[in-house]
Structure 1
């Protein structure tokens, strides 16, 4: 049930603080849309870009398939842990709200400061750049696409996503559903082509499959980063808990359907890539799916460019959908400017938060490089994933009496936490890079903003006036939590 509200007016002015009623986002995400949100976000640029980088880091086809299997298992462990958190803390916001409820305001602010400014916009930017690469490629056959054309196309993609998500939640979820079906069909084409090649005896890549496998701790960590990028989105449903119908049932059920399905598809797609290409050809391909299409589909190779473009657009939509919610929830809790906690009075979408996310994503696109963005995103994300699951272990040990509609065996979050710790520390210890130091310094720089703006609630008059003008311009009003 939704409640609309209009600000009271006094003469010609509208007072932001005097609101008779507030808005509430509606529960419009059923099981099908929940599965689509997870699978549709996970299946994006990664499976068409990351196989080359996983192989480059791990060194062998056999090692690559093990990395992909382990990534799927780790994502499943994480999702099952998050499912219990989602049934314990029935609020939207994902890691942010779980860290806030378990560890307090300061760690939650550091997370959301990093997430809103870097992690989520970086994810949207990376997926949009992937979309642009494949969308532009058919117009420049035989040569590299101009970076200006790629970046402009990526910006158009972000602009279109902003429009779709601001207009309607139902429209955004419908786009996810349609594009999820389209991308599953694209993966099915690759899988069936791979099966045909294997039947014909194209198994040379699997002979001595583990030859040249690299085993350094840091190398394996970076290989995991690239593989796990393809699984990013396994936690997206927890960002929109307040918009899910019967979350205590549909949250764990959607995760148990979507993630094993995606893992199964990913493994078969990688087998198909190795059936069509030697490791050397795959490493020099640039666009793995395009090279596969040229080898297997011949004159129909353009289908792969179209399929990858559709897939990445759908994934960007899911990432954008959930990323805007994190910004919105944080603002509602007082950790971001108040305007970002408001929703459109007619469309009932968190349009200010979505617009803000798109603006930061625009900035990320300008100097963006796919591989660098992935490593930046992965290191930061797994630092906070581990922190979040630590909160679940705390609740399991210290508060076992809390009512739970779903419980995960404790060994699963323990394994997930240990793996997260490895993924954060191994690259730093084995292959230290200055970028990791920059990320840590950026996270800690949140202290500068936390104490004056959040702890001591300093709100400059100019910011209050700006909020008022933006509220009138965007036709938005404050919202309340769903207490159902």
Structure 2
């Protein structure tokens, strides 16, 4: 049972995998006469203890945590299973070992009733493929509950009733310089067992603490390559790190309210049901504390923290902050979708439509199908609220190849291609507005726009989000002016729409042809709504925010598109649109405002494309980040592993995926220089991208039964809503391949190069 991914470098990342032991009849070994030997306050009701333990495990699995049980990991080790069946303290796996980024350290329990337990956990870690730095051995004593981390650079060990200075010194020898830059020795007053009963990190700048106990003795702070410690109080160290404290009372400390485990960074944790005030304080800061009964477990000094040994927590250097709310997400959805398409596709659609009602029907149909996809995707984003939901849903449902294929296509085909195509359109319009005609000027303007948005997003997710709101607002305002021009200011067309010889007729064959070609044309204009899910890991309260923002965004887009078409058709008949498909917007503006209007519409289109480009460059790096971070550990020690680590780099100052943002910018500029043709890029990326969207929507049928909780948003009309989306998009793929086989098959061929690459990476990851 080798793990492909493991390692813990912080207390507050996404908890992926945890090692636990479900207790059983061995608890009957604990009696009134030997309570101190096993650290129980009183004998427990075995059935109730196991029942409450199962409720605790359920809370972890509800949050998507992979729970590994010792008896499963050691299923082939009869000696270990026999030992475990007799040891009531084996359920406290936290105390027996500590897993770090590069390996684990076996602890040295102080109580004689626990001597030898750590050996069984060591066997389990070996079976999981986790190497050992070493073992702390008697007369040195230290237990895992006395070890924690602050940030990802400081290991903290408490000197207390269960640990001596020899124990903390042994741990310091193992980890200082290799696993951490700093090591903090924290002496605790008499009567306190572990630091995890007094202090618990929730996030990089947030902790739960009983400060009175931690202000008694000075602590020794060691730095790598420096044997002389600096002395300071623990609370002073927290102040230096600018860590906010949620203080708890002595009564709350004694009943175990600190016994909390973070499961999803910045939003979810598991703890005791009696920690009511703490849950309220956490809720004020955007947290949800999933609880279970405390009474019976705490009689044996158990709880969520004491009874878990984390083996894989997503690295804090690969975690993004949850800062974005509904306005930003809605703006990103609208900004990503409404780009250049709405100015060009009405004319293209006129080539295959014969009546106005067909135009309104196809725009409404595509909007409805997109809404179905968005609602399904919103549920997936709440099931897996992590950066790069597209990638993680495929990975979770269909295995590592599906997730890698999605990342491969997005990163190397559709992502840079989309950015390059939009950048070229931006450059072309910018050249017209500023009078710098020519293909070279068009490329220069496009490159400048890409560089601008890369720099903006490197400043931070909030900067990028605010910029997107401003650009989206400007875009909507400009389109509103265009709608008003067509509906209220321009003189309406006097002649009725006349079907051309190329238009689809009203016979069944004509309607099918119109549906196939029309859906393809209009779906291109709706493309981009999925990209907002790439930043799911940075959304506040994703269970509420994502469904509302996705639904509102798609409905807003559909209404805007219908109004634009209504304005266009009021001024320009269908047969005139067929003759000038790319100039419809300029004709409408000119009819309302003259030559000034034509110039204004060019500026409008320029702003619109600029906003779409900004939305892509904000969201695509999150996908690159998610893919790269998943392969960092699997490719460690290789050249390609170094590349993945660089792409997965998160700026410690702005907490944005800086490495991925720079990568997307460079790849987009390369694609901008290589392709040069917007229409060719669209054909090239259409089939791979839409096939992936259909595949991702299908994951709802697998992930909902596995991950859904009572609080998770559920897609209305399930299962019909996702099924309708899959059928319509499937028909689109068939139509695209039939009518344009060369470019679509070329895109598919490049996508399939992911197969040998994934095989190579899988071999590296063993």
Normalised by the size of structure 2, how large is the TM-score? 0.55
Cα 1:17–1:291 change in 2 (3 A) is: farther
Secondary structure at the counterpart of residue 337 of structure 1: helix
Question: Separation in 2 of the partners of 1:95 and 1:54?
Answer: 30
Q: 2:503 aligns to what?
A: 212
| Deviations 1:23-67 (CA, angstroms, capped at 9, x unpaired) | 332112111111111111111111122222222344654433322
Question: Separation in 2 of the partners of 1:16 and 1:216?
Answer: 70
Cα 1:29–1:369 change in 2 (3 A) is: same
Is 1:362–2:669 an aligned residue pair? yes
Q: Where in structure 2 are the equivalents of 1:323-342 lying within 5 Å?
A: 323-334=620-631, 337-342=644-649
Aligned positions, number: 446
Q: Shift of residue 349 of structure 1?
A: 1.3
Q: Which moved more, 1:78-87 or 1:334-343?
A: 334-343
Q: Shift of residue 170 of structure 1?
A: 1.2
Is 1:439–2:730 an aligned residue pair? no
Cα 1:305–1:7 change in 2 (3 A) is: farther
Question: Separation in 2 of the partners of 1:216 and 1:151?
Answer: 40
Question: Separation in 1 of the partners of 2:711 and 2:678?
Answer: 40
Question: Separation in 2 of the partners of 1:305 and 1:201?
Answer: 22
Is 1:48–2:343 an aligned residue pair? yes
2:459–2:654 CA contact under 8 A, matched in 1 = yes
Q: 1:29 aligns to what?
A: 324
Is 1:294–2:603 an aligned residue pair? no
Cα 1:77–1:372 change in 2 (3 A) is: same
Q: Where in structure 2 are the equivalents of 1:225-236 lying within 5 Å?
A: 225-236=520-531
1:60–1:209 CA contact under 8 A, matched in 2 = no
Question: Separation in 1 of the partners of 2:408 and 2:488?
Answer: 49
Question: Separation in 2 of the partners of 1:452 and 1:294?
Answer: 58
Question: Separation in 2 of the partners of 1:447 and 1:285?
Answer: 40
Q: Shift of residue 19 of structure 1?
A: 5.7
Q: Where in structure 2 are the equivalents of 1:90-109 lying within 5 Å?
A: 90-109=385-404
Match of 1:185 among 469, 477, 481: 477
Q: Where in structure 2 are the equivalents of 1:25-424 lying within 5 Å?
A: 25-58=320-353, 61-140=356-435, 145-196=437-488, 201-202=492-493, 204-206=495-497, 212-213=503-504, 215=510, 220-283=515-578, 284-301=580-597, 302-334=599-631, 337-366=644-673, 367-396=675-704, 398-399=705-706, 402-408=709-715, 409=717, 410-424=719-733
Secondary structure at the counterpart of residue 235 of structure 1: helix
| Deviations 1:309-329 (CA, angstroms, capped at 9, x unpaired) | 111111111111111110001
Q: Shift of residue 204 of structure 1?
A: 3.4
Secondary structure at the counterpart of residue 333 of structure 1: helix
Question: Separation in 1 of the partners of 2:473 and 2:357?
Answer: 30
Question: Separation in 1 of the partners of 2:647 and 2:154?
Answer: 17
Is 1:450–2:758 an aligned residue pair? yes
2:460–2:656 CA contact under 8 A, matched in 1 = yes
Q: Shift of residue 164 of structure 1?
A: 0.7
Q: Which has the higher contact order (CA 8 A, sep 6+)?
A: 1
Question: Separation in 2 of the partners of 1:401 and 1:172?
Answer: 31
Question: Separation in 1 of the partners of 2:710 and 2:344?
Answer: 42
Secondary structure at the counterpart of residue 650 of structure 2: strand
Asked which structure has the greater CA Rg, the reply is: 2
Q: Shift of residue 268 of structure 1?
A: 0.8
| Deviations 1:413-465 (CA, angstroms, capped at 9, x unpaired) | 0100111211112222x32512222222212111121112244239xxxxxxx
| Deviations 1:71-103 (CA, angstroms, capped at 9, x unpaired) | 211111110010111111222213211100111
Cα 1:18–1:204 change in 2 (3 A) is: farther
1:205–1:277 CA contact under 8 A, matched in 2 = no
List gaps (5 residues or longer) in structure 1.
9-14, 459-484
List gaps (5 residues or longer) in structure 2.
1-11, 14-149, 156-175, 182-314, 633-642
Q: Shift of residue 129 of structure 1?
A: 1.6
Question: Separation in 2 of the partners of 1:17 and 1:206?
Answer: 75
| Deviations 1:181-234 (CA, angstroms, capped at 9, x unpaired) | 111111111111121258x54363557799932637566434323322222222
1:218–1:431 CA contact under 8 A, matched in 2 = no
Question: Separation in 2 of the partners of 1:159 and 1:125?
Answer: 12
1:60–1:210 CA contact under 8 A, matched in 2 = no
2:343–2:582 CA contact under 8 A, matched in 1 = no
| Deviations 1:232-283 (CA, angstroms, capped at 9, x unpaired) | 2222221111111111001001112111111001111012122222334333
Cα 1:355–1:404 change in 2 (3 A) is: same
Q: Shift of residue 357 of structure 1?
A: 0.9
Q: Which moved more, 1:47-56 or 1:308-317?
A: 47-56
Secondary structure at the counterpart of residue 476 of structure 2: helix
Cα 1:206–1:18 change in 2 (3 A) is: farther
Cα 1:19–1:416 change in 2 (3 A) is: farther
Cα 1:385–1:152 change in 2 (3 A) is: same
Q: Which has the higher strand share?
A: 2
Secondary structure at the counterpart of residue 343 of structure 1: coil
Q: Which moved more, 1:96-105 or 1:268-277?
A: 268-277
Normalised by the size of structure 1, how large is the TM-score? 0.84
